[in-house]
Amino acid sequence: MEIKGIRFDVQHVAPLDPGFMPFGVFSRAFLKTAKKPLAIAVEEPKGSVSVFDTFIHGTPEMREADEYYVERVVKCLLWMRGGFRVSICGEDSIAGQIASMYSKTGKRAFDFNFMSGVYERDLEVVSLPYTEKPREITLAKSVGRNMDGYRIGFDAGGSDRKVSAMINGEVIFTEETVWYPKLNADPQYHLDGIMDSFRKAAEKMKRVDGIGVSSAGVYIDNKTRVASLFIKVPKDVFEKKVKNIYQDAAKMFGDIPVEVCNDGDVTALAGAMSLEDDSVLGIAMGTSEAGGYVDSNGNITGWLNELAFVPVDAQPGAMKDEWSGDIGCGVKYFSQDAVIKLGPAAGISFEEGMSPAEKLAYVQQLMINGDKRPVNLYKTLGVYLGYGLAHYADYYTFKHVLLLGRVMSGEGGMIMYNQAKDVLKDEFPEICCKLHLPDEKTRRVGQSAAAASLPKIKR
């Protein structure tokens, strides 16, 4: 395989996607000949700074490879860490190229607009000398694992909402309720649903000391910044009614602490609590790809962990993500979209009018029925996963990986699991991590308990 003059090989070829070029393998090959130091820093408004030290070639003949590599790393850092400012330290010309791409009218306008919306200021790319690279500043906070008192844990999903009541670490009540948040434009629908769940849990306890919320989306300082749950809510209404929706719902219990976290981070926290260990990366493969991370100190980092937009495939013909307009990103490799993408290559056709969820269920039913066509499909997904984890290991330090979501269920999930383990064992023996497949019941109960444990209650 060759990209931009960089040659590399893979030991495991994806059966149904032989052109798959793992970006993590490309970057390792690139760095074997790159010697000029370069640093890329991503800064958040609260002061957190992530610094990624790397190298480029810095020669005219390798200019195209250098630009491609740096742009892809910037993309990874933005969607994994998040930030409003990117500093390219050590190469002015490449910094200028990245600034042009990540602008309102540039090739990465989607990324510019998303980050600008999350952090409420325009994303900027600046150039600095390598000797003036920013200092790494970590503001990871200890959230969760609080078991004292009378607590409510709430998990807001796209198809159901789950609530639990917990007294001194014991979950005494749980309930799931079907709802349709993505179809409703009136935020009163969402608020009523949240309050209904809160009330039902509160009725099981003599008081409420704190509320923890696990919710899909981006939350900063407990405020909703971007969330698909409220996708139908008009922007002006979102600002007035949705930003503080969880705090507003909690006011019925008085002045109590409320802690809101991304559901991926809460999933990773639940896994860390269950495993009684730290350094946990959680990956949920369902409608899209979601991520969460608990660091080596047992803290939630506050990073975005939006792995759906992180590039994992370097092949020029990789499938395009319809939303972001970019190619080779995780959503097309670690979600139901990946299953649908590979269906025709596996000889599987879908009936017209089937929803994406129905297409995934159809492939899973074929496996249950003993059909052999999905086997190579899941082996291909397993190859994606193994190389994807090796790529993520360049940015995260993890000892455990939780593999969750509908795509990982059933016999197909086991094929993916075993194939990914083989890729890691054969090509990346230096990456020492354990892969875990929690069952749905364990994941669900663990999620509610972890959410309930989020706030520190007042004394």
For residue 6, tell me if it sits in a domain: no
For residue 144, tell me if it sits in a domain: no
pLDDT at 459 over 80: no
Q: How far apart (Å, rounded) are the C-alpha atoms in residues 342 and 104?
A: 34
pLDDT at 328 over 80: yes
Q: State whether 257 and 339 are in the same domain.
A: no
Q: State whether 241 and 309 are in the same domain.
A: no
Check residue 441 and give its pLDDT: 53
Q: What is the mean pLDDT of residues 168-191?
A: 92
- Cα separation of the two ends of the chain: 61
Cβ atoms 162, 194 nearer than 8 A: no
Domain range spanning residue 399?
A: 273-441
Q: State whether 229 and 159 are in the same domain.
A: yes
pLDDT at 426 over 90: yes
Give the chain's domain count. Answer: 3
Check residue 404 and give its pLDDT: 87
- Check which CATH number belongs to the domain holding 179 and give it: 3.30.420.40
Check residue 13 and give its pLDDT: 97
For residue 457, tell me if it sits in a domain: no
For residue 5, tell me if it sits in a domain: no
pLDDT at 271 over 90: no
Q: State whether 277 and 412 are in the same domain.
A: yes
pLDDT at 358 over 60: yes
**In percent, how much of the chain has pLDDT > 90?**
76
pLDDT at 448 over 80: no
Check residue 260 and give its pLDDT: 93
pTM above 0.85, yes or no: yes
More confidently predicted of 381 and 438: 381
3-state secondary structure of 70: helix
Q: State whether 288 and 437 are in the same domain.
A: yes
Beta strands in 170-279 (DSSP E): 170-178, 210-215, 218-220, 223-226, 258-262
Q: How far apart (Å, rounded) are the C-alpha atoms in residues 70 and 40?
A: 8
Q: State whether 280 and 254 are in the same domain.
A: no
pLDDT at 443 over 60: no
Q: What is the pLDDT of residues 114-171, one digit of tens each?
A: 999 999 899 999 999 999 999 999 877 777 788 999 999 998 887 788 999 999 999 9
Q: How far apart (Å, rounded) are the C-alpha atoms in residues 228 and 208?
A: 29
Q: State whether 320 and 399 are in the same domain.
A: yes
pLDDT at 215 over 80: yes
Q: What is the mean pLDDT of residues 396-408?
A: 92
For residue 280, tell me if it sits in a domain: yes
Q: State whether 437 and 323 are in the same domain.
A: yes
To the nearest whole number, what is the mean pLDDT of the chain?
93
Q: State whether 242 and 285 are in the same domain.
A: no
Q: State whether 235 and 259 are in the same domain.
A: yes
Q: Please list the alpha-helical segments (H only) found in 125-221.
A: 187-202
Task: Please identify, among 100, 132, 164, the residue that sits at the C-terminal boundary of a domain.
Answer: 132
For residue 9, tell me if it sits in a domain: no
Q: State whether 353 and 424 are in the same domain.
A: yes
- Both tokens of 310, joined, read 């992180």
Check residue 397 and give its pLDDT: 95
Check residue 217 and give its pLDDT: 84
Q: State whether 283 and 428 are in the same domain.
A: yes
pLDDT at 440 over 80: no
For residue 139, tell me if it sits in a domain: no
Q: What is the pLDDT of residues 240-260, one digit of tens each?
A: 999 999 999 999 999 999 999
For residue 1, tell me if it sits in a domain: no
Q: What is the mean pLDDT of residues 191-216?
A: 95
